Structure 1
Amino acid sequence: MSEVPQRAVVNDPIRFGVLGCADIARRRTLPAILREPTTELVAVAAREQAKARAFAGQFGCAAAADYRSLLSRPDVDAVYIPLPAGLHHEWVGRALEAGKHVLVEKPLTTRYAHTVAMVESARSLGLALMENLTFLRHGLHSAVLDLLEGGEIGELREVNAAFGFPPLGPDDIRYRPDLGGGALLDTGMYPLSAARLFLGPELEVVGATLKLDPDRGVDVSGSALLSTPDGRTAQLTFGFEHAYRSDYVLWGSEGRIVVERAYTPPATRRPVIRLEHEEVRRELTLPPEDQFANTLRAFVGAVAVVGQRAAETVEICARARLIDEIRVKAGQPRVRLPHEV
Structure 2
Amino acid sequence: MSKVNWGVLSTAMIGQEQVIPAIQRSSNGEVVAIASRGEKAISVAEKLDIPTAYTSYEELLADPNIDAVYIPLPNSLHKEWVLEAAKKGKHVLCEKTAGLDYDELKEMIDACVHHGVTFMEAFMYQFHPQHAKVKELITSGAIGDVSFMRASFSYLLTDESNIRLDRSLGGGALYDIGCYTIHSICNILNDQPTDVYANARIPEKFNVDTTVAGVLSFENDIQASFDCSFDVTPRQTYQVVGSQGTIEVVGPYRPDANESGEGFIRVVKSNGETEEYSVAGDQYKLQVEHFVDSVIEKKQPSYTNEKMLNHMKVMDAAFHSIETGKSIKLS
Establish whether residue 271 from structure 1 lines up as the match of residue 263 from structure 2: yes
**Per the alignment, do residues 186 and 241 of structure 1 end up closer, same or farther by CA in structure 2, a change over 3 Å counting?**
same
Which residue does 2:55 correspond to in 1?
65
Taking only the aligned residue pairs, the percentage that are identical comes to 30
Give 1:47 deviation, angstroms. Answer: 1.8
2:42 to 53, 74, 83: 53
Q: CA deviation at 1:39?
A: 0.6
Q: After TM superposition, give the deviation of residue 109 of structure 1 in Å.
A: 1.1
Matched with 2:289 is 297
**Cα distance in structure 2, aligned partners of 1:76 and 1:168:** 38
Q: Which runs of 5+ in 2 are unaligned?
A: 326-331
How far the C-alpha of 1:205 sits from its partner, in A, is 3.4
Structure 2 match to 1:3? none
Q: Provide the rounded CA distance (Å) in 1 between the counterparts of 2:196 and 2:56.
A: 44
Q: What is the Cα deviation at residue 151 of structure 1?
A: 0.4
Aligned match of 2:176: 186
Contact in 1 for aligned 2:120/2:291 (Cα 8 Å): yes
2:320 corresponds in structure 1 to: 328
2: CA distance, partners of 1:309 / 1:30: 20
After superposition, residues 212-227 of structure 1 pair within 5 angstroms as: 212-227=202-217
Distance apart, 1:236 and its partner CA = 0.4
**Alpha-carbon deviations, 1:117-139, whole Å to 9, x = none?**
21122223221111111110000
- What CA distance in whole angstroms lies between the structure 2 residues aligned with 1:160 and 1:230? 16
Which among 293, 298, 308 is matched to residue 306 of structure 1? 298
Worse-superposed segment, 311-320 or 132-141: 311-320
**How many residues are aligned here?**
322
Tell me how far 1:243 sits from its aligned partner: 0.8
Aligned to 2:233: 243
How far is 1:242 from its partner? 1.2
Task: Report how far residue 158 of structure 1 moved.
Answer: 0.7
Aligned to 1:147: 137
Conserved? CA contact 2:196–2:314, under 8 Å: no
Change (3 A) 1:39 1:170: same
Q: How far off its partner does 1:255 sit?
A: 0.7
Distance apart, 1:309 and its partner CA: 4.1
Tell me the equivalent position of 2:328.
none
CA contact (8 A) 2:128 2:286 kept: yes
Counterpart Cα distance in 2 of 1:172 and 1:283? 41
SS in 2 for 1:237: strand
Q: Take 1:149 and 1:272, find their aligned partners in 2: how far apart are those partners?
A: 19
* 1:315 aligned residue: 307
Kept after mapping to 1: 8 A contact 2:120/2:301: no
Q: Measure how far apart 1:34 and its partner are.
A: 1.1
CA distance in 2, matches of 1:206, 1:108: 21
Q: Secondary structure at the match of 1:323?
A: helix
Deviations 1:255-294 (A, max 9, x none): 1001111100118523221111135242333342110000
The question of whether the paired residues in 2 share the 8 Å contact of 1:122 and 1:308 is answered with no
TM-score (norm 2): 0.93
Structure 2: how far apart are the matches of 1:224 and 1:32? 33
What is the TM-score of this pair, normalised by structure 1?
0.91
**Structure 1: 4+ residue segments shifted above 6 A:** none
Q: Cα offset for 1:170?
A: 1.8
Q: Which of 197, 204, 208 in structure 2 is aligned with 1:207?
A: 197
Residue 107 of structure 1: how far off its partner (Å): 0.9
CA distance in 2, matches of 1:105, 1:137: 15
Match of residue 31 from structure 2: 41
Contact 1:126 1:306 in 2 (8 A): no
Q: Which of the residues 133, 156, 159 maps onto 2:123?
A: 133
Asked whether the 8 Å contact 1:107–1:131 carries over to 2, the reply is: yes
